[in-house]
Each structure stands twice: as C-alpha cells, then as structure tokens.
Amino acid sequence: MAGEIDELTLARARRGDAVALSALVRHYQRPVYALVGRLMLGRAAGARDDVAQESFIRVCRGIARFDPAGQARLSTWILTVTTRTCLNALRDGRRAEALRPDPGPAVAPDDPERSAAERQLRLRVEAAMAGLPEEMRAVLVLRAYHDFDYDEIAAAVGVELGTVKSRLARARAALRDVLTEENSLERA
C-alpha cells in the first residue's frame, strides 16, 4: 500500500463526500481484501467479497468518528474494522459456506518443479492456518501480513496485550508443529 490517503480526501470523506469515500475505498481496497482473504480461509470467494464489502460499509458509516489526531493511523483503523467484521462473520456462521480454498492465480511457471513446490507449501500453510482458531489466526495475520504492532493488534481484536502475545506464540507454535509433522510424514 502506498501510505495513507491524503488529509484533504480524508477530511472530505469524513464529511460524507461520495467522491472522497470512493477514493478512500479504492486506496485501501487491496489491504482490506488481503486481510479478509487471510482471515476467511476456506470460505467461498463470494462470502469473502461480502465481508470485505460489509467492512467498507462500516468504514464509510463510521469515518466521521475517526479522529485523524488520535493514536491510530487510518489504515490501522480500517483494518481493525475489517478484522472485527471478519471475526463476527466467522463466529456467527452466516458466511460459513465452506468450500475448497481458492488455488490462487494461475501463473506461467519459469521452473515447473519450483512452482509446484511453492504452491504446495502455500496450500499447506493455508490449510494449517485454516485449522487455527479464529482468534489465533487473526493475531497472526495482523502481525505477519499487515505489520501491526502488539498494541494495534490488541485494539483490533479487543483483548489485552498479554493475550495478544500468548495467542501469537501459540499460533506460531501450532503452525510450526503442523508443518513439521507434515514434513516428517512426507519423509517416512
């Protein structure tokens, strides 16, 4: 992402200007969809799109309450809204149309063997992450993929700092255990 949206566009969006809100959505679209995709592993693409759109609806409705002089960056606030929307959707089961994970975009491989190994590893990591409880997956995704610091993660998921640290440690250990166990089984 190319940094935060400019102050003038943010001010106009906070006043409800449709053009500014559209610019805000376009600017933050990629990180929101990336976060939704990582938190909603194993869900149908349509369900992920619904959650991303619901997140942006909540952002647009709540942008007037965002304080640009506050502690959180706009991107952090938007990804916090998105995280909570994802966790609510997962808990509620409204969008629990569990289908096979998307294989990802098809690319013409330069080295077919390497591409196959990378795809297999990516699918193994996705499957291992899908097996994590939502609360553990959320802290791991926010830290590893969106570079949230521990305080930002705590605010995003609504838990204490110590809880974030323990969930993150348990999530990393669980992923390591699953991937190590799979490697051991492959060698046997």
Rounded to an integer, the average pLDDT of 167-171 is 92
pLDDT at site 100: 37
Mean pLDDT (the chain, rounded): 84
CATH 1.10.1740.10 fits 1-100, yes or no: yes
What are the residue boundaries of the structural domains of the chain, listed by start? Answer: 1-100, 110-188
Closest of 131, 145, 120, 142 to residue 41, by C-alpha: 131
The model's pLDDT over 135-146, given as tens digits with 9 standing for 90+, comes to: 899 999 998 888
pLDDT at site 95: 34
138 vs 49: CA distance, rounded Å:
18
What is each CA distance from 93 to 43, 53, 81, in whole angstroms? 11, 17, 18
CATH number of 110-188: 1.10.10.10
Task: Read off the pLDDT band of 42 (50, 70, 90).
Answer: confident
pLDDT at site 97: 40
**Two structure tokens written together for 121:** 């590893």
98 vs 87: CA distance, rounded Å:
15
Long-range contact list for 162-166, CB < 8 A, 24+ apart? 164/139
pLDDT at site 14: 95
The model's pLDDT over 83-99, given as tens digits with 9 standing for 90+, comes to: 999 988 888 764 344 33
Which has more confidence, 92 or 39? 39
